[in-house]
């Protein structure tokens, strides 16, 4: 049914991501790296493309250059099929000098894109979450339930309700109430610990959305969750789509059913990484039937000279030379030298962990050259004087905090022959990937 419908996707990728600072000091939230070679935005785009929704506008705003470069390199659709595109749309300021004032305002400022495309349905999705979703199934629900608007929903713990929109539904899944980020809320029927939350993914009948945007703009309203959706309840049919009914091919029995994470905080972002590790992870990154696409990889395969590795990911172009890795996630072209120890760490591109350095429960952003014998994550009081440390004790080393040395001096002294390996940290990183960093 959904395949015959003309669906236009608008992805909200303008998030500043202040709660992810310092990882968002120089990039917007959707551009933040995730796992071995992905970025957060790759999940929503992969879900749409896997769902055969190929017409996608990506609305950007804050610190968007790295995201723009990533889309240019990784999400170029064929020029021979005009309706297949992933197009980045910065603020156009067609109606004045203001940047986007909210989610609805960002769509209103680009309302001409909808009018020109003339879709039947508009999918307005967020770009900040880790999940797999067959959007066609939600479109089928939207059509069969005769909805004007459908909101993807799932239960969340009551402690998280202040961060999401909370909905109340009747027995037919029609939404009776929508409250954006309430300070407190009642649990959903049948539960004492959870409430039903919006995932920030909406389907609108196109004519309904256009009318609602014009009315909201005239009234000075700028946000879907705070303004538009609550006011539509009396005049339109708003339906709650149960995300847990969404079925994805290729999901293993051991994976968490209906896995979805808002990685808007350092703690949530950190924990989601480790949900992907192990032989039976909660969320398996590899799924040939529903892949999460990543940027092109120019580096050579990773090299393990020797060492002790336990439940870790080693990105392409990386070298582990006599080090110990326990629940470590290395992105591309990371060098871990002899005697170094990483425990529950995320290390991003082009970083070096010097000989004898010990790092635990930390996120090391890209382009860091951590000296030998450095200690991070063992004395949180001392760490707080240099780095951002979350209340749970996760240390975040900002991008380039430890300045990189010259390429030649970054070679492990015991393995000078590694200099000959293309794509290793000993070489200049490919310029096309530098631009996307």
**What confidence tens digit (pLDDT) does each residue in 22-63 have?**
999 999 999 999 998 999 999 999 999 999 999 999 999 888
- pLDDT band of residue 384 (cuts 50, 70, 90) is very high
Q: Is pLDDT above 60 for 433? A: no
Tokens of 233: 């309840």
Q: What is the pLDDT of residue 391?
A: 96
CATH 3.10.180.10 is the classification of domain 2-262: no
How wide is the angle at C-alpha 151 spanned by C-alphas 172 and 238, nearest 5°? 55
Partners of residue 154 on adjacent β-strands: 197
Instruction: Of 40-54, 81-95, 307-321, 349-363, give the lowest mean pLDDT range.
Output: 81-95
pTM score: 0.90
Instruction: Of 95-104, 397-406, 418-427, give the lowest mean pLDDT range.
Output: 418-427
The answer to whether 20 and 51 have CB atoms below 8 angstroms apart is no
Buried b / exposed e over 333-351, threshold 16 CB at 10 Å, is bbbbbbbbbbbbbbbbbbb
68: left (phi over 0), alpha (psi -120 to 50) or beta: alpha
- pLDDT band of residue 431 (cuts 50, 70, 90) is very low
What mean pLDDT do residues 295-311 have? 89
Q: Is pLDDT above 90 for 304? A: yes
- pLDDT band of residue 323 (cuts 50, 70, 90) is very high
- pLDDT band of residue 307 (cuts 50, 70, 90) is very high
Q: Is pLDDT above 50 for 4? A: no
Q: What is the pLDDT of residue 221?
A: 86
Q: Is pLDDT above 70 for 94? A: no
- pLDDT band of residue 11 (cuts 50, 70, 90) is very high
Q: Is pLDDT above 60 for 294? A: yes
What mean pLDDT do residues 414-422 have? 37
Q: What is the pLDDT of residue 73?
A: 87
Q: Is pLDDT above 90 for 122? A: yes
The answer to whether 300 and 315 have CB atoms below 8 angstroms apart is no
What mean pLDDT do residues 62-66 have? 87
Among residues 38, 36, 47, 52, the alpha carbon closest in space to that of 11 is found at: 47
Q: What is the pLDDT of residue 435?
A: 37
Is the preceding omega at residue 22 within 30 degrees of 0, hence cis? Answer: yes
pLDDT tens by residue, 269-285? 999 999 999 999 999 99
User: What is the 3-state secondary structure of the chain?
Assistant: CHHHCCEEEEEECCCCCHHHCCCCCCCCHHHCEECCCEECHHHHHHHHHHCCCCEEEEECCCCCHHHHHHHHHHCCCCCCCCCCEEEEECCCCCCCCCCCCCHHHHHHCCHHHHHHHCCCEEEEEECCEEECCCHHHHHHHHHHCCCCEEEEEEEEEHHHHHHCEEEEECCCCEEEEEEECCCCCCCCCCCCCEEEEEEEEEEEEHHHHHHHHHHHHHHCCCCHHHHHHHHHCCCCCEEEEEHHHCCCCCCCCCCCCCCEEECCCHHHHHHHHHCCCCCCCCCCCCCCCCCCCCCCCCCCCCEEEEEEEECCEECCCCEEEEEEEEEEEECCCCEECCCCEEEEEEECCCCEECCCCEEEEEEECCCCEECCCCEECCCHHHHHCCCEECCCCCEEECCCCCCCCCCHHHCCCCCHHHHHCCCCCCCCCCHHHHHHC
pLDDT tens by residue, 158-170? 998 998 999 999 9
> Which of 102-111, 300-309, 386-395 holds the top average pLDDT?
386-395
Of 418 and 19, the one with more pLDDT: 19
Partners of residue 56 on adjacent β-strands: 9, 86
pLDDT tens by residue, 204-216? 999 999 999 999 8
Q: Is pLDDT above 70 for 380? A: yes
Query: Domain boundaries in the chain?
Result: 2-262, 303-436
- pLDDT band of residue 436 (cuts 50, 70, 90) is very low
Q: Which CATH number fits domain 303-436: 3.40.366.10, 2.60.120.1030, 2.160.10.10, 3.20.20.10?
A: 2.160.10.10
pLDDT tens by residue, 143-156? 999 999 999 999 99
């Amino acid at each position: 049914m959904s395949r015959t419908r003309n669906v236009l996707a608008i992805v909200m990728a303008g998030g500043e991501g202040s709660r992810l600072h310092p990882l968002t000091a120089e990039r917007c939230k959707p551009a933040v790296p995730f796992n071995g070679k992905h970025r957060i935005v790759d999940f929503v785009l992969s879900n749409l493309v896997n769902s055969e929704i190929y017409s996608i506008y990506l609305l950007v705003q804050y610190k968007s250059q790295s995201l723009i470069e990533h889309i240019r390199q990784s999400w170029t659709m064929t020029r021979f099929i005009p309706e297949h595109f992933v197009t980045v749309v910065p603020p156009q300021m067609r109606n004045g000098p203001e940047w986007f004032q909210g989610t609805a305002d960002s769509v209103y400022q680009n309302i001409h894109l909808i009018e020109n495309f003339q879709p039947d349905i508009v999918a307005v999705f967020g770009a900040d979450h880790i999940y797999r979703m067959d959007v066609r199934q939600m479109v089928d629900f939207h059509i069969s339930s005769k909805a004007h608007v459908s909101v993807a929903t799932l239960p969340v713990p009551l402690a998280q309700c202040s961060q999401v929109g909370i909905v109340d539904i009747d027995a037919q899944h029609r939404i009776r109430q929508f409250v954006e980020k309430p300070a407190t809320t009642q649990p959903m029927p049948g539960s004492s610990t959870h409430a039903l939350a919006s995932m920030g993914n909406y389907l609108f009948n196109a004519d309904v959305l256009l009318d609602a945007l014009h009315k909201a703009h005239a009234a000075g309203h700028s946000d879907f969750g705070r303004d538009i959706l609550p006011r539509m309840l009396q005049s339109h049919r708003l339906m709650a789509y149960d995300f847990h009914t969404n079925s994805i091919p290729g999901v293993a029995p051991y994976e968490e059913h209906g896995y979805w994470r808002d990685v808007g905080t350092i703690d949530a972002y950190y924990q989601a990484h480790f949900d992907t590790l192990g032989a039976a992870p909660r969320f398996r990154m590899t799924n040939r039937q529903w892949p999460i696409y990543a940027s092109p990889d120019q580096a050579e395969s990773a090299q393990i000279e020797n060492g002790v590795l336990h439940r870790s990911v080693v990105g392409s172009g990386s070298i582990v030379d006599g080090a110990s890795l326990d629940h470590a996630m290395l992105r591309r072209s990371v060098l871990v030298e002899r005697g170094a120890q990483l425990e529950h760490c995320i290390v991003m591109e082009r970083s070096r962990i010097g000989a004898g350095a010990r790092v635990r429960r930390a996120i090391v952003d890209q382009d860091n050259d951590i000296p030998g014998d450095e200690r991070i994550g063992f004395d949180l009081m001392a760490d707080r004087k240099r780095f951002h440390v979350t209340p749970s004790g996760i240390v975040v080393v900002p991008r380039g905090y430890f300045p990189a040395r010259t390429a030649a001096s970054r070679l492990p002294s015991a393995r000078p022959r590694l200099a000959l390996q293309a794509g290793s940290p000993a070489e200049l990183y490919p310029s096309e990937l530098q631009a996307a960093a």
